[in-house]
Structure 1
Amino acid sequence: MIRSQENPRFVNAVLDWPPTALIARLALVSAYLLGAAVKASDFPGAVAEQVHFGMTPPAFWAVLTIAVEIVGPVLILTRRWLWLGAGMLGVFTLLAAFKANAFWAMAAGHDRFTAMNAFVEHIGLIGGFVLVAMLDRRERAA
């Protein structure tokens, strides 16, 4: 019988499988890598996005966004200064959540609900970055 404190064997097998950690880190940063690729391949669109959000000068913010969306994931995936990559993406995600999903300033309705949902999803990603940094620190200390 499995006690509530123990994982089932198949869960332990997945968690103990060496590629699991890399796959999980890749899943966590995949949206940022995709975002960087899309922005880099359509730089005028990336600049237009910054204009839409009121960022000036927009070309500077487009370049910075692309850089953060590339460097942060690379640091997390390679586990070199993982804490820095997680911090970069966490701060970026928090700023983006406030800038792009200001649901509190919207009238009640579908758009507000959608923005609130996106905001909360961004907060969840930030929690993921904190956890990946904590797990990396614990693994290195062990």
Structure 2
Amino acid sequence: MVRLCLVSAYLIGGINKLFHFDAAVAEQMHFGLHPGWLWAALAILVEIAGSLCVIFNRFTWLGAGGLAALTVAAMLVANNFWRLEGVARFIALNSFFEHLGLIAAFVMVTYLASCERRSSG
């Protein structure tokens, strides 16, 4: 259940992007990622496949690593607080560090999965 909670935003986001692909493309282009269709497709793949890897504890390192890499990219593109001022900076700064916490959780889930594999094998 904890694994599902960890990846829930990514899984829902990936499914939502899949069913609203035009909006996903527009989102990527809004952040300056071109071609938008390619970045949207990659985001969908990583969000859905990575989430399933984490949920089912199979290739956890790959799924969590992909989701962490996607999160780093999003942090740098969408939460660039260092370029903003005022309320926008405050919001982006908070979001940046919330995402950093998610990355730490992906490292932890990968570590725990590797410990489980070593102790059972």
Same fold judged by TM-score > 0.5? yes
Q: Aligned residues, how many?
A: 119
Separation in structure 1 between the aligned mates of residue 5 and residue 92 of structure 2, nearest angstrom: 23
Identity level (%): 49
Give the TM-score normalised by structure 2.
0.96
Which one of 103, 111, 121 corresponds to residue 134 of structure 1?
Answer: 111
Separation in structure 1 between the aligned mates of residue 112 and residue 63 of structure 2, nearest angstrom: 14
Residue equivalent to 1:112: 89
Please give the root-mean-square deviation of Cα atoms over the aligned residues, in Å.
Answer: 0.7
Q: Which has the larger radius of gyration?
A: 1
Quote how far apart the aligned CAs of 1:103 are. Answer: 0.2
Give the TM-score normalised by structure 1.
0.82
Separation in structure 1 between the aligned mates of residue 59 and residue 12 of structure 2, nearest angstrom: 21
Structure 2 residue runs of 5 or longer lacking an equivalent are none
Residue equivalent to 1:41: 19
Residue equivalent to 2:37: 59
1:71-120 deviation per Cα after TM superposition (whole angstroms, max 9, x unaligned): 1011111111111111000111011111000001112x111100000000
Q: Which structure carries more helix by proportion? A: 2
Quote how far apart the aligned CAs of 1:38 are. Answer: 1.2
Q: Highest relative contact order (Cα 8 Å, sep 6+), 1 or 2?
A: 2
Structure 1 residue runs of 5 or longer lacking an equivalent are 1-22
Residue equivalent to 1:121: 98
Quote how far apart the aligned CAs of 1:45 are. Answer: 0.4
